[in-house]
A and B are shown apart, each in its own frame.
Chain A
């Protein structure tokens, strides 16, 4: 077992966990109740008030259609909190399993798995994306699957690498000598020790998933055009970054805040968990 340095156990994760959890809960509440919270209808066009800077009438200004940025920011939390977590979770679970299997069994299994993953990675996903958009039509499920599929090789590769390192350590060797079977050994001994890698992957992938989802929305798959989805808002308003920076920065900061919130929680949970185990 990796010796968890003693000070670790004493360390407090309360503050980080609290801040992270507060961010996530706040956005979740917004996602659930935005229709009650928004000052304007998020889709309401108002040609008379285009590109208004932040002010008392529009706290975060308006965009090229005269839509209220603040209202769209609140409404945009819902699609983000539906798609990205689902896709990330799917990708991390599948990728971690594949990576653990490849790393644990090694040999032919490893070889085959890694070569298949290589092919997936090497295949230019622009082509796949274009195809899926054209054939699958608009569906949140398809969106989640496409994003997850594209993340699996990345997660798998990282987890496999971490597994290889762990596998060679003495505690694993010892367990193996005790006659433990490979998979049980993996789950009990290796998995906890590659968890930091898995968490790093999960948090990194989450941010990517938001933008991958936005890209698909943008292509007409998944979110309908004009969706207040944060990623889609950032890409839609990009051209006006100089003229109306608030339309880009607000959703971009929202994304960053959510990603950071999740990272804080994940980090703190891991710390507590490891502390608990030692």
Chain B
């Protein structure tokens, strides 16, 4: 458990480093949030006044210290541009995104693992090629292309699913999931190829391993071998791939959230970075960072649990 402890200690330190980086780089980006709020046609004097009111004229370290003090004590401040409490804003958007990500993940894992195993078991046969090549081709298609095609076919032409990911307030969970179906599909299309290739690679290695060959010699069928030996092995490589995939999901989220009009955390990260809305940007970055690290940590723990050969005491 020392491994787990060490990793948990590293989390706040990493976040601290990231927050400094966010602050400094945002400062270096050209543009002025006060100008953004007031528009091009406001006078220079008005812009200067607003900068003063927002405290933007104070030195960077002082502003950072203020922000940090507030953040750790739960006072996340108010969004410069939207003038609403940052904490409500970020947590609200986060929960919307989590629902979408969870749905996408729930669809992604079985699809990708199945395809990967099918490819692995049939490796070097046409079925393997078909799965690999299709997965790659789909993964190389930007989500705004697949997303729009899904929208045109299923929302505009067939009208099976709504075009917008946001269900009206007070909808049932089922209705909300219906609204999220198309954006979730486009995320799945985006990520399946990558995860499936990792599963396949793991499966191939396992099938060709001595114990699998031995099992096959003992008269077990291929699928029995797969169930007993290969599945776990390939799950190990897939676990790691899925961890990485989270990052993809997040990258994909921005586009997908925009395209399907889903007010989530990806869209918020984007708009706050572009507007230099620092309180919102920082809080978003911190929440996403924390989430990311915890999930990666969970994936690592799962990885170690699945493969007993790697001791939990870790690498020493």
**Are both chains from one complex?**
yes
Interface, chain A (partner B; CB < 8 A): 2-5, 8, 11, 13, 16, 105-107, 110-111, 115, 118-119, 121-124, 126-128, 130-131, 134-135, 154, 157-158, 161-162, 164-165, 168-169, 196-197, 200, 203-204, 207, 210-211, 231, 234-235, 238, 241-242, 248-249, 252, 255-256, 259-260, 263-264, 267, 271
User: What mask results when residues 265 to 287 of chain B are scored 1 for a CB within 8 Å of chain A, else 0?
Assistant: 00001100110000001001100
Say yes or no: A122 contacts B208, CB within 8 Å: no
Interface residues of B in 1-47 (CB under 8 A from A): 6, 10, 13-15, 17-18, 21-22, 25-26, 28-30
Say yes or no: B309 contacts A127, CB within 8 Å: no
Residue in B244, B254, B273 whose beta carbon sits within 8 Å of that of A158 in the complex: B244
Interface, chain B (partner A; CB < 8 A): 6, 10, 13-15, 17-18, 21-22, 25-26, 28-30, 124, 129, 132-133, 136-137, 139-142, 144-145, 148-149, 152, 193-194, 197-198, 201, 204-205, 207-210, 213, 236-237, 240-241, 243-244, 247, 254, 269-270, 273-274, 281, 284-285, 288-289, 292-293, 296, 303, 307, 309-310, 314-316
A56 shortest CB reach to chain B, Å? 27
Say yes or no: A134 contacts B244, CB within 8 Å: no
Return chain B residues, CB-CB under 8 Å to A127.
22, 25-26, 29, 273, 281, 285
Mostly, the B contact residues are: helix
Return chain B residues, CB-CB under 8 Å to A122.
14-15, 18, 285, 288-289, 292-293
A249 shortest CB reach to chain B, Å? 8
Shortest Cβ distance from A15 into B: residue: B129
A162 shortest CB reach to chain B, Å? 7
B277 shortest CB reach to chain A, Å? 12
Say yes or no: A162 contacts B237, CB within 8 Å: yes
Return chain A residues, CB-CB under 8 Å to B273.
124, 126-127, 130
CA gap between A2 and B201 in the complex, in Å:
13
Say yes or no: B274 contacts A130, CB within 8 Å: yes
